[in-house]
Each structure stands twice: as C-alpha cells, then as structure tokens.
Amino acid sequence: MGRYIGGEFWYDQSLICENKQLEINDAYFFNGGRASLIIICRFLKSRGIHKVLMPVFLCPSVLDVFDLMEVEYAFYDITEDLRIDSCDLLKKAEYAGAVFFINYFGFPRKEDEAITLSELKAAGKIVIEDNAQFVYSNKRIGSLSFNSFRKIVPYDGSFLYSDFQLEHLCEGLKEVESTRAALVREARRIKTEFIRSAACEDKFCVTRSRTNFIAGRTPDEREYLEKFDRAEEVYNRENVILGDALEKEMIERLNWYEIIKKRIENYMFANDLLSGSKYMRPVCPVPDEGFIPLGLPVYISKVERDALRQKLIERKVFLPVHWDIGKDPRVKRNPLALEMSKNILTLVIDQRYGKADMEYMVGMIDSLVEERYGI
C-alpha cells in the first residue's frame, strides 16, 4: 500500500498523556480559528472600528469571516520571505483602526517587525496576531491573539488571548454540539483504522511502530475523505462559537513536548536536504529560536507547481498549498503575492513522520521533476 504522507490528521494514542500537559488559564476557548475571528470582529465593531489592515498574503478564509461580519479591510505588503514591509505598513496604518499580522508557518516575527507592531499598539491601534500556524507562543505581541489546533493535531479548538474583557461578546452563546464535531471525529476514527491497516500490510508504512492490527474490514479511503469534506463544508457555515469540552481536554493532555520536538527535528533535517535540491528553495530562513513549524514552505522552480502536486497525490504524498489565492479577486492586484501563491508548496514535517519520510518526500519531488522534464 505504500507510504501515506500528509493529509488530515488521524488519532495517535501514544501522544495522549494521563494528565494535563498544557495549562491555559488566561485565554478564551472557542470552536476554532473561525470562531475566534468572529469574536474579534464583534469586538472591533463594539469599539467603533470598521476597517482592518491585512497582509496581502493570507488565507482567503480569513477574509471570508471579515466579509461575513461586515468589517472592511485593506492590504499592506510583505516580502518574498514573508517579512512585513514595515514602511508600507506604517504608511497605511494611519487609515485603519486595527492591524492584522500572521506568524507564518510557526515562525515568530523578527525583532524589527515586532518593534513596529509594538509601536502601533502603543499608538492605540488594535493589533491582531494570527497564530493559526503557530500553536501558541509565550511572547505574544497582539492585543488579540488566536490559534487553531486542527492545523497541528487531530482536535478542534482555538485559544483567544485578549488584553480586553470579551465576556459581554459571548453572552447568549449556547454550548451546542456542532454538526462538524461528530463528522470530523468519525472521519478521524475511520482514517486511523485505515492507516493502522495499511501499517500491517506494508512494512514501510510510516506508522508501523505505533499501531496494531485491527481485525475485520479495512476501511475504504473514500469513507473518511467524504466525511472530512462534509465536515469542512459544515465548519464554514455553521458558525458554532464556544469550544467543545472534550476537544479541549484532549488538546490539554497531548504530549506537546514530543510534538514540538519532532516537528523541529523533521524541519531541520528536511531543510538540510534542500541544500542538495535544484528544484526547491526554502521560503524563509531558519529562525534563531522560538519557532514551532507548521511545515516547511518552499518555492518550486523549473516545473508547474500544481502539476507536480498532482503527481505527488497519485503517489499518496499530500502536500498543502498555503495559499492558493490566484483566483481570489480580493487580492489579485498584488503581483508579488500572486507569484508567491503560484509557486509555494508546504513540505509536511509533523509529528507523524521521521527522517526516512523526509528523505522519501524530498527525493520523490526531485525525481519526479527529473523524470518528467529531463532536467
């Protein structure tokens, strides 16, 4: 059956601890990043702020929420290596009540960027820190800072840190079971069985050391894929705000030390492998410290990214694009952002994998380009 790299997360009991490993008492817990953004938009409107300055390179789903909540936005520039263009930001910030920035791929902002953002905050701007790709950070800059756990682990939830009291914005919200919760748990359960069955059939499967045989019928891939698709459709429309208590408990009991350690090890090893690649280069330099990588973003050259990605999918290597904004009319006026979006690809380096998988993934990309184009 071969290796499976990437795609939606499945459950791994070896990462569940008996007691809490993550103790968060100074943040609100919501259903996901989307829910945190809805609360943030409510807060902005309660303060009479109706326009936010956004980085031009971002996930379109962020803009979807601001459109839904009828909060206007404009864009400031970033550089090819995902740094804030501070000159452009400061020039445009005069005309917005709030500034939104992203810790891309789990990398903290450089010192000069942090100083610029802190100065804006001191000047009275509401600074919104998007940590959806960062998990959490002890060095928050934003007046409001949120994350999204489903990007990192197989559990839903978002912690929203705030310099302000937000209780009044949560009044009247009911603790309801989201339709997505049942769908996505079932999808994750089925995928877990599928991966475990694959581990028994193929001695090279990446999860073989952590799984046991499950008797009975092997699940079909389509079973969990369809449920994941339905869960995502529901997530984008149901707007459940309050977080699920069971999801929160599981997030808190995860072995975060091991998760972060494995991600950093895989990131560093894969980054070293790229020095020998003619077709990939890292988007960002390796941070000095304090990073929790979502993935390893690279720019693809000498080949059309989407065609390469399809070849990888056929070989069960599922590498995401952060983000495909080429057809989004809201950001189409920025040539650099469009060029970045066309060539960027994220190498998967998460806790499910090891060094052999990094070699397999990088080697496959290089070999596919060479075989197809004879370079």
Question: In angstroms, how far apart are the furthest CA atoms of the chain?
Answer: 63
The CATH number covering residue 106 comes to 3.40.640.10
| Tokens standing for residue 248 | 């929160």
Structural domain includes residue 74: yes
Residues 155 and 283 in one domain: no
Q: What is the span of the domain harbouring residue 184?
A: 177-239
Secondary structure of residue 75 in the 3-state scheme: strand
Same domain assignment for residues 186 and 166: no
Domain co-membership, 262 together with 342? yes
Strand duo 317-318 + 98-102: pairing: unpaired
Contacts of 126 (CB under 8 A, 6+ apart): 44, 47, 49, 97, 98, 99, 143, 144
What CATH number does residue 320 fall under?
3.90.1150.10
Do 116 and 226 sit in the same domain of this protein? no
Q: Is the peptide bond before 10 cis (omega within 30 degrees of 0)?
A: no
Q: Is residue 358 part of a domain?
A: yes
Question: Residues 186, 97: one domain?
Answer: no
Angstrom distance (rounded) from CA 259 to CA 251: 12
Q: Which of 41, 59, 214 is nearest to 144 (CA)?
A: 41
- Note whether 52 and 113 are same-domain residues: yes
Total domains in the fold of the chain: 3
Same-domain check for residues 181 and 296: no
- Domain annotation covers residue 299: yes
Question: Judging by beta carbons within 10 Å of its beta carbon (0-12, 13-18, 19+), is residue 111 exposed, middle or buried?
Answer: exposed
Same structural domain for residues 83 and 165? yes
Structural domain contains residue 8 = no
Q: State whether 164 and 181 are in the same domain.
A: no
> pLDDT of 158-183, one tens digit each?
999 999 999 999 887 877 778 999 99
Please indicate, yes or no, if residue 303 is contained in any of the structural domains.
yes
Provide the pLDDT for residue 239: 85
Is the same domain home to 68 and 127? Answer: yes
Domain-located, residue 247: no
Distance CA(313)–CA(305), nearest Å, equals: 12
pLDDT of residue 200: 60
Whether residue 105 sits in one domain with residue 59:
yes
Residues of the chain with confidence (pLDDT) below 50? 1, 203-215, 375
In a domain, 13, yes or no: no
Query: 305: helix, coil or strand?
Result: helix
Residue 122 included in any domain: yes
Is the pTM here over 0.85, yes or no? yes
Last residue in a domain, options 123, 151, 170 = 170
DSSP assigned state of 84: B
Closest by Cα among 16, 3, 22 to 354: 3
